[in-house]
């Protein structure tokens, strides 16, 4: 196995030795491996260089005047930024006490002087490779943590929007969360993946977000709406789409807000889509949405009896609803009745 194969990325190695011959020897041994070599002549110089630019490896002579290698190692380990930098001590001391002291202050390895050319090259390559892997794992963990924090921020924003709508429209209070839970259940039963269910959940949660743009006089009207008022109310799917389509992470979640009032027979709005022209998750959502609405009290009517609601869904299969969606709804209701308990 060649040295070039062993080292595929440049690593920054700090060589610390008060003896110029020791530094020259290390330079001669490590030149050609593709590493960037830096040199320090004493302990203070080593600490300054390490703080200025964190090395990927420190080759540290033990016996130096002033601050010796043990103290340099101790100080590096005490620095949160440099604490994980691999440190290999190079020493002519071969006694057990010196090695134990090195371990106690945090050295990762020892190389005895006079150094063996093949040994030092092999050890350096192994250590920088392991250090590179450690950094990669740390970066991956940081990326995953940042992703989780971003997801939490997304969810907090969505929940804030829905809460704002709930506070404005008492009729839909808790409705969004109920229909979201059931739609995700339907989509999972249909066979959508967990990654797809993330978008299903967001889409269902935001299905009525466009109502934020509907005037209070219409949205909160206690009685039936006039034709003109209905025309305004029917703009909320388009308003919802306009609100959400410029937000990159919500673009896969537009189907329900934009299409949940389309009907299987093509008589819905806003586009009059028909049959399978209607996006799948909007078709799955439709019977859930109507079931919850009819099961709820409204200022202009009392909630329907459960059996009456279910019969209505069956009767509307093939006209209002995709027959497959109604059949799946009944199946899920039978298998998971506890999810259909309408608690606020």
What digits encode the pLDDT tens for the residues 285-297? 999 999 999 998 7
Torsional class of 11: left (φ above 0), alpha (ψ -120 to 50), beta (otherwise): beta
Fold exhibited by the domain 3-140: Rossmann fold (3.40.50)
For CA atoms 294, 295, 296, 302, the dihedral sign is positive
Domain spans, the chain: 3-140, 169-340
pLDDT given for residue 294 in this prediction: 93
* 1-15: average pLDDT: 61
Residue 344 has pLDDT above 60, yes or no: no
Residue 170 has pLDDT above 70, yes or no: no
For tokens 């060589």, the residue is 15
* 174-199: average pLDDT: 92
* 14-22: average pLDDT: 92
d(CA 223, CA 226): 10
3-state DSSP assignment of residue 79: coil
The least confident of 160-169, 177-186, 290-299 is 160-169
Residue 335 has pLDDT above 80, yes or no: yes
* 221-229: average pLDDT: 88
d(CA 252, CA 160): 20
pLDDT given for residue 171 in this prediction: 58
**84-139: per-residue pLDDT in tens?**
899 998 887 666 777 788 888 988 888 887 777 888 888 888 888 877 777 777 77
For residue 139, count CB atoms less than 10 angstroms from its CB and return exposed for 0-12, middle for 13-18, buried for 19 or more: exposed
* 301-320: average pLDDT: 94
**319-334: per-residue pLDDT in tens?**
999 999 999 999 999 9
pLDDT given for residue 1 in this prediction: 39
| Confidence (pTM) | 0.60
The least confident of 92-96, 183-187, 206-210 is 92-96
pLDDT given for residue 46 in this prediction: 94
Q: Residue 169's pLDDT band (boundaries 50, 70, 90)?
A: low
d(CA 270, CA 275): 15
**Rounded percentage of the chain residues whose pLDDT exceeds 70:** 93
Residue 261 has pLDDT above 50, yes or no: yes
pLDDT given for residue 6 in this prediction: 40
3-state helix, strand, coil in the chain (%, to 5): 60, 10, 30
* 266-282: average pLDDT: 97
For tokens 């008492």, the residue is 170
Residue 193 has pLDDT above 90, yes or no: yes
3-state DSSP assignment of residue 59: strand
**49-74: per-residue pLDDT in tens?**
999 999 999 999 988 988 999 999 99
Answer CATH for 169-340 from 3.65.10.10, 3.40.30.10, 2.40.110.10, 1.10.3210.10: 1.10.3210.10
Mean pLDDT of the chain: 87
């Amino acid at each position: 196995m060649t040295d070039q194969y062993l080292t595929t990325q440049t690593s920054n190695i700090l060589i610390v030795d008060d003896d110029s011959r020791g530094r020259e020897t290390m330079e001669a041994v490590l030149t050609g491996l593709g590493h960037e070599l830096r040199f320090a002549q004493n302990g203070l110089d080593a600490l300054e260089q390490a703080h200025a630019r964190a090395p990927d490896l420190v080759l540290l002579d033990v016996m130096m005047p002033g601050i010796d290698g043990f103290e340099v190692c101790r100080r590096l380990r005490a620095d949160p930024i440099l604490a994980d930098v691999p440190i290999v001590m190079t020493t002519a001391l071969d006694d057990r006490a010196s090695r134990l002291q090195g371990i106690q202050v945090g050295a990762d390895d020892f190389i005895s002087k006079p150094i063996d050319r093949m040994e030092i090259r092999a050890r350096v390559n192994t250590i920088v490779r392991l250090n590179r892997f450690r950094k990669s794992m740390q970066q991956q963990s940081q990326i995953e943590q940042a992703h989780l924090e971003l997801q939490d921020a997304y969810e907090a924003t969505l929940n804030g929007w829905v809460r704002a709508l709930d506070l404005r429209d008492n009729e839909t209070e808790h409705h969004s969360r109920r229909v979201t839970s059931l739609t995700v259940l339907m989509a999972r039963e249909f066979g959508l993946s967990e990654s797809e269910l993330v978008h299903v959940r967001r889409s269902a949660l935001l299905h009525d977000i466009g109502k934020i743009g509907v005037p209070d006089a219409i949205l909160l009207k206690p009685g039936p709406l006039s034709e003109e008022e209905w025309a305004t109310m029917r703009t909320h799917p388009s308003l919802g789409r306009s609100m959400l389509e410029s937000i990159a992470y919500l673009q896969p979640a537009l189907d329900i807000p934009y299409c949940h009032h389309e009907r299987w027979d093509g008589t819905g709005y806003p586009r009059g889509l028909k049959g399978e022209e209607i996006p799948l998750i909007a078709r799955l959502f439709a019977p859930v949405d109507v079931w919850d609405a009819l099961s709820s009290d409204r200022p202009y009517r009392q909630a329907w009896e459960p059996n009456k609601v279910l019969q209505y869904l069956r009767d509307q299969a093939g006209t209002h609803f995709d027959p497959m969606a109604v059949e799946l709804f009944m199946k899920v209701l039978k298998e998971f009745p506890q999810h259909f308990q309408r608690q606020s």
